[in-house]
Structure 1
């Protein structure tokens, strides 16, 4: 029994390490996205770099932005995918053990308390109402609380979707539009089809994670 508990705890520690990596990559992704969206070209087709680092041609600015965004988005998607695999493995291990072996405590609660989650895991906030729900004896009020929990969870997930997925996708599309506008301005000679293919690959990788998150969200709402 102790060996099984140790295995789950080690997997949880691994999941936490992966979650930290996801969160760090996401912060970098947000910074690059903000820079990509806020770059404004002047009449000469130049964009001022942040922190008074000088100016760069609009074509080069958006080329670099697209490449950076694509690389970071793919890295972000890969890191999130790894956390999903690890979390599913943890759940699979817990479910495979007989519940009688965990009479002292619920391993799922232990895992949830030990794990460091990624920014898209917001169910813990809605679960704060669970104790209130259990203390209420009237069924009508209990159902209202359950409904509030589900609404809160849904709103929080939509909020995280906007920043985790939609903002980077919108930014890279915007940079592609601007790159087409300033295609002939700049010294970087990366062919446009290459830039476009890289951006599409990055968008698809994020969309795959988004779809997985939506599926998880629908399952979580039913359990709340």
Structure 2
């Protein structure tokens, strides 16, 4: 059972398995992605309800442009549909919508809709929903370095560096979930994953529901996070 007092602040999810879900059913991949959007809707609502403060979802990587053109077009269409469908619900639930990634490379229609939702929800004070779009962890770090080089800042520490990342208000990740049985982080939020707890499940993303999410949270709550220290230091309250 999930303990309210030990809810992770920032949960990130690599949503994997849409294609395999469709293949198992003899369907085109786009049907898997559409089913995956329904899973997103359920998890966003549930995460907000149980007190998650930040939820990051890996929606589209910089490498995903290499997929077949019809699949990429379908994903962009689903992004537009998701924003249209959930726009007012996100506002009404006081969710703040942000994006990590290079939005400039997205097609005009989904980009304009995403930007409108970002602007409209910017003063919301509830859960922050961070969508990783056209995102790559190494590119984020390189982009941050280039921003620093273009600034007048000469003395850099970890706190200063974090301020140059995409969506700098999003903190380090407490729990990373990856679905579909793959056990890798796939260039996702490399800087913020430094001390994250990792949870891998064989459940394909379209089948990942509230109960599966709670399993991951429960597993997280039964781990000891040491941040490089000993058990004795943790017990003494050094963290």
With the length of structure 1 as denominator, give the TM-score of the two structures: 0.25
Computing the radius of gyration from Cα coordinates, the structure with the larger value is 1
Please identify which structure carries the higher strand content. Answer: 2
Instruction: Give the number of the structure whose residues are more often helix, by fraction.
Output: 1
Q: TM-score, with normalisation over the residues of structure 2?
A: 0.24
